[in-house]
Amino acid sequence: MADGPITDAEFQQAGLRLAVDGAVATITLARPERRNALTFSTWRTLARIGDTLPDGVRVVVVRGEGPAFSAGIDLRLFTAEGVPGEDALAPRDEEFIRGLQAGYLWLRRPDIVSIAAVQGHAIGGGFQLALACDLRVVADDVKFAMKEPALGIVPDLTGTKPLVDIVGVPRALELCLTTRTVFADEAARLGLAELVVPVADLGKAVDDLVAAILAVRPSTAAATKRLLRAAPGNTLEEQSAAERREQVALLNEHTREQSP
Ligand code: ACO
């Protein structure tokens, strides 16, 4: 993997833009003419954005330019011609896939809250990118679909775990094997969207959510996310212990701050 700052040429190849404004980083999928199709460069550059995120960033917004959030993997990768500047698709090993998954995994880090702002299609790797984020704010024209099985592959960009955590195994199986589209009403019902708003209001709804999150102390927000993320894998006893641990650390921190 390349070191150092991400160059303009690398952002361009990845179809990404990054804007950091104080505590908020906004990652834009910026290939609207291809409905923000994703390539190996996209996933690797996302991983490098995670690795090089400036200290002090507390919220990461992932959004897509144009009518769709993302049409998933660039289907040209499955052709003999491929995509200029990208590796050929197959045959590949697990380490190769691990490098791509790194692009999504960091969005679960406790020191940040990640928000997917989703309009239009979020297909395959695009759906998994939305699932990789902590929260999903969607426009009422959203169309989620897990198309991988239709291509003879499985969803392998870390999406199966959050999908199952959110909708349960039977519904996840049904969504993946039918590859059908989930529209806004159902997305809200299934818990795939925290908020559904008219398309024109998506930016404002995300801004409001970001402001609410930033109003919470950074250490409190991180402790809360750590706790809640750990909860499904913990017994009640383990989770109660984790609550005590986090609370004592926060109370000690408050006491230290208040002492002269
Ligand atoms: N890969 C490469 N190019 C794409 C992709 C893609 N995944 N999706 C769209 N494009 C291109 C189209 O080829 C078209 O290019 P052109 O203008 O040169 O003809 C352009 O983007 C616009 O696409 P349209 O189909 O015209 O846009 P529309 O808004 O009508 O439809 C939709 C959007 C529904 C996303 C459609 O393009 C589509 O079904 N794309 C393929 C989705 C897919 O199966 N992705 C793989 C998922 S599996 C995974 O991610 C692992």
Closest-CA residue, ligand 1 atom 36, reads 71
**Model confidence over 175-194: pLDDT tens digits?**
999 999 999 999 999 999 99
Is the minimum distance from the CB of 34 to ligand 1 under 6 angstroms? yes
Ligand 1 atom at shortest distance from the alpha carbon of 34: 21
Q: Are 69 and 36 spatial neighbours (Cβ–Cβ below 8 Å)?
A: yes
**Distance between Cα 253 and ligand 1 center (Å):** 50
DSSP string, 142-191: -EEE--GGGGT----SS-HHHHHHHH-HHHHHHHHHH-PEEEHHHHHHHT
User: In this structure, are residues 246 and 226 in contact, taking their beta carbons and an 8 Å threshold?
Assistant: yes
**Sequence-distant (≥ 6) Cβ neighbours of residue 218 within 8 angstroms:** 58, 111
Q: Is 75 in the pocket of ligand 1 (CB under 6 A)?
A: yes
What is the per-residue pLDDT across 184-234, written as a single tens digit (0 to 9) for each? Answer: 999 999 999 999 999 999 999 999 999 999 999 999 999 999 999 999 999
pLDDT attached to residue 4: 78
The Cα 247–Cα 145 span in angstroms is 40
Beta strands in the chain (DSSP E): 16-21, 24-29, 59-64, 113-118, 121-123, 135-139, 143-145, 181-183, 195-197
Single-letter amino acid code for the residue at 230: A
Q: Does the beta carbon of 74 lie inside 6 Å of ligand 1?
A: yes
64 lines ligand 1 (CB under 6 A): no
In ligand 1, the atom with minimum distance to the C-alpha of 125 is 50
Does 172 score more than 90 pLDDT? yes
Please give the distance, rounded to the nearest whole angstrom, from the Cα atom of residue 174 to the centre of ligand 1. Answer: 23
Tell me the pLDDT tens digit for each residue of 40-91: 999 999 999 999 999 999 999 999 999 999 999 999 999 999 999 998 887 7
Q: Tell how strand 143-145 and strand 181-183 pair up.
A: antiparallel
Examine the pLDDT at 151 and tell me if it is beyond 80.
yes
| pTM score of the predicted model | 0.97
Question: What is the model's pLDDT at position 2?
Answer: 63
Distance 182 CA to ligand 1 centre (A): 17
Q: Is the CB of 77 under 6 A from ligand 1?
A: no
The band of 251, judged by pLDDT with boundaries at 50, 70 and 90, is very high
Residue 93 has pLDDT above 80, yes or no: yes
pLDDT for the residue 259: 86
Looking at residue 54, the DSSP 8-state letter turns out to be: P
